[in-house]
Structure 1
Amino acid sequence: MSRPLLRVENLQTRFDTDHGIVDAVNGVSFTVDQGEIVGILGESGSGKSVTARSICRLEDPGEIVGGSITFADRELTTATEATLRQLRGNKVSMVFQDPTESLNPVFPVGEQIAESVRIHQSSETQRLLDFLGVSPFRDRSAWKNAREHAIGLLDQVGIPNPEANVSSFPHEFSGGLRQRAVLAIALASEPALLVADEPTTALDTTTQADILSRLRSLRDEQNTGILLISHDVGVIAQTCDRVVVLYDGEVMEAGPVERILTAPEHPYTRALLSCSVRNSDADEQAQSVMARLGDPSSSHEGCPFADRCQHVTEACRSGSVPTTEDTSDHRLACLEAPFSEDKFVSEQQEIPAANGGQQNDTA
């Protein structure tokens, strides 16, 4: 059996704030294989983005205080900064949530993509002036080739008329085109692992569907492993092979997408789906997930979802909650499941499409 491309085991990332210690990620474990798209699903504040940034070792001002992150048999939690620079953006790329913050407003988009191409092609021998892109001093032939590569990447991610738009500035692009440009920069080095943090936020439905299609094509054509962060059940349903459901920095449920979204067993997963799935009890069920979030700086025992759970017992509030796993690679952290109710989603009910109905970013 082949080893996974990425293995995260018992990851713990902590923030030291003026209000105390915040355990943003508290024992998260999952894997991503080559050619697989794994989704991380949860409300705002559940630890999704911190998990993604920790994998890329961009957790600062947070600190990884426990666990392991293994990429291609390399342990990243103890890796040197030099090793991380070789991997980050080269073998592991990240698409951040806000493309406006990822693009430099004073340089053309094509120049920024070409710069990424050049850095990862010759990072060890490139001169400082070449890194800075100072025109009179840089290798014109190499930059011409990088510019042509940038045009190809713009075309690959679906930016129209790439030969002309390669000279456009970020402010001349719409939000959807900026997100595509950021994706092109991430793909410049042909990474083995792509971490995409909410890549479709604030995009219209058509643009969102196209971005997700590009990610699936990347998986199919280049065998890239993708970690997709989202609060949108529809995005996860359309795109991912497996999903990890996070709450308060802990894994509540994980497994194949079809299994999780058609027969969820954890009360939190069921509450999340009730915000998107239209059924007669949706309004009542949604109230359980709309309750006030707990104080992230306060320590707790037992299940972190206990205060918002309709099925809570005293045993849920004390001690540790064991994680069970079956032969279908389904993991569950709940003392009371399975429940006596029928399947949460009937076999006739379709998995919700992206943005199909109310989004469930309830925090």
Structure 2
Amino acid sequence: MSDPLLRVEDLQTQYHTTRGTVHAVDGASFTVDRGEIVGILGESGSGKSVTARSICRLEDPGKIVDGAVTFDRTDLTTADESTLRRIRGSDISMVFQDPTETLNPVSSVGEQIAEAVRIHDTEERQRLLDYLGVPLFRNRSAWSDAHERAIELMDQMDIPNPESRSSAYPHEFSGGLRQRAVLAIALASEPSLLIADEPTTALDTTTQADILRRFRTLRDERDLGILLISHDIGVIAQTCDRVVVLYGGQVMESGPVETVLTEPAHPYTRALLSCSVRNSEPGERVRSADGSPPDPVGGHVACPFADRCQYATPTCREGRIPTTELDDGHRVACVEAPLDAPAESPHRRAPPMPDGGADRDSI
């Protein structure tokens, strides 16, 4: 079996504050293969975004203190800055939650996409010419080529009238169109891995479905590896091949989406699913999990979910919980797993979201 495109092993990222050391990511491990969409699921404060930024080595002011992030056989945790600059934005692209953080308000959308294309093409030519020992000369036609490529990317991202809209500014785009423009910028370098951090937050249901359908198309057409971060179970269920459930900076459970979301083995996964609006009957009050998320200051000497878990035993508080494999690819960090099936499935069947007919819509 070939090596995964991305391998994260025992990743630990910490922040030093006046209250103490925050263990934002506390030993997370997972992989992403080419042509696969892996979701990271968890509530706010579980370490999802810090994990994504750590992969891209954008964790500052935090610091990776242990573990390894291997991308295409390159260890990013030990790579020098020139290597990171070459990989970021070229082989690995990231889409952030708020597109206004990425787009420059004083430049047209087309110019920004064309700039991403031009930078990537220039870097590729520079590497080739450096190898040949030939100096790089600026080609004026490169700007025209980049603009044409920008319009092509806008069209691929389903932005209406891309040629005329390329001269529009970000504030003239709706939230959904801005997110599509950011996605076009991310894909300008034709990356191998796309990291999307809550890319559908604040979008209406139809626009969200279109964006998610675009991710699946990119996976199929480009053999693109995608790491999709979301707190929305429906987004994960309809889009991802595998899911990693994160809590307190640790992986509680991981495996195929169909298995984890229909046969959850970890108490936290069950609690998370039971709090979903999609798992509530019409008129039924949405449940909330008892207790509060753990304080990340100082880290966790045992299972971070132990204080909120009805199945917790003294063993759960004695040390790091080992990860065991229950089935092919289904792993769980729990000494009590597998749990007995509840009388009622924690993840009720729900009507599909209008995303164009995904196979997982019934989950």
TM-score of the pair, normalised by structure 2:
0.89
In 2: Cα distance, 1:233 partner to 1:145 partner: 41
What residue in structure 2 maps to residue 299 of structure 1? Answer: 299
Give the aligned partner of residue 272 of structure 1.
272
The yes-or-no answer on 1:230 pairing with 2:230 is yes
Contact residue 237 and residue 353 of structure 1 kept, 8 A: no
Distance 1:285 1:338 in 2: 26
Q: Deviations over 1:89-141 (max 9, x none)?
A: 00000001110111000100100000000101112767xxxxxxxxxx97431
What are the ranges of 5 or more consecutive residues in structure 2 without an aligned counterpart?
Answer: 127-136, 356-363
Equivalent residue for 1:205? 205
- The 1:114/1:290 distance shift into structure 2, 3 A limit, reads farther
Which digits, 9 at most, give the CA deviation of each residue in 1:33-85, with x for residues without a partner?
Answer: 00000000000110000000011111111100000111111110000100011
Aligned-pair CA distance for 1:291 = 2.6
C-alpha distance in structure 2 between counterparts of 1:142 and 1:64, whole Å = 39
What is the identity, as a one-letter code, of the residue corresponding to 1:72? D
Cα pair 2:23 2:249 within 8 Å, conserved: yes
Counterparts in 2 of 1:209-220, with a 5 A limit?
A: 209-220=209-220
Q: Aligned residue for 1:51?
A: 51
> Aligned residue for 1:286?
287
Q: Distance in 2 between matches of 1:344 and 1:147?
A: 56
* CA distance 1:68–1:354, change in 2 (3 Å): farther
Identity %: 66
How many residues align structurally? 343
Distance of aligned partners of 1:196 and 1:346 in 2 relative to their CA distance in 1, 3 Å threshold: closer
Q: How does 1:29-44 map to 2 (within 5 A)?
A: 29-44=29-44
Give the Cα–Cα distance (whole angstroms) in 1 for the partners of residues 75 and 89 of structure 2.
17
Superposition deviation, residue 337 in structure 1: 1.9
Provide the TM-score with structure 1 as the length reference. Answer: 0.89
Between 156-165 and 305-314, report the one with greater CA deviation: 305-314
Counterpart of 1:239 in structure 2 is 239
- Conservation of the 8 A alpha-carbon contact between 1:40 and 1:228: yes
**Match status 1:315 vs 2:315:** yes
Offset of residue 212 of structure 1: 0.3
**1:169-224 Cα shifts (integer Å, max 9, x gaps):** 00111111111110000000110000000000000000000000000000000000
Provide the secondary structure at the position in 2 that maps to 1:203.
coil
Alignment-derived partner of residue 345 in structure 2? 345
Match for residue 85 of structure 1? 85
Please say if residues 261 and 345 of structure 1, whose CA atoms lie closer than 8 Å, have aligned partners that are also in contact.
no
Residue 325 in 1 paired to residue 318 in 2?
no
Poorly superposed stretches of 4+, deviation over 6 Å: 282-285
Residue matched to 2:179: 179
Does 325-334 or 111-120 show the bigger shift? 325-334
Unpaired runs of 5+ residues, structure 1, are 127-136, 357-363
Residues 35 and 122 (structure 1), Cα distance of their counterparts in 2 relative to 1, 3 Å cut: same
Q: Which residue identity is paired with 1:350?
A: R
Q: Tell me, in whole angstroms, the C-alpha distance in 1 between the residues paired with 2:231 and 2:325.
A: 24
Structure 2 distance, partners of 1:71, 1:300, is 28
3-state SS of 1:26 partner:
strand
- Worse-matched range after superposition: 320-329 or 83-92: 320-329
Question: RMSD between aligned alpha carbons?
Answer: 2.2
For the 8 Å contact 1:232–1:354, the answer to whether it is kept is no
Q: Secondary structure at the match of 1:286?
A: coil
- Deviation track 1:250-300 (CA, whole Å, cap 9, x = no partner) reads 0000000000010001111001111224357x979933x253222211333
Contact residue 93 and residue 186 of structure 2 kept, 8 A: yes
Question: Is the contact made by 1:237 and 1:352 (CA closer than 8 Å) also made in structure 2?
Answer: no
Offset of residue 326 of structure 1? 3.5
Q: Secondary structure at the match of 1:245?
A: strand
Alpha-carbon distance in 1 for matches of 2:290, 2:354: 19
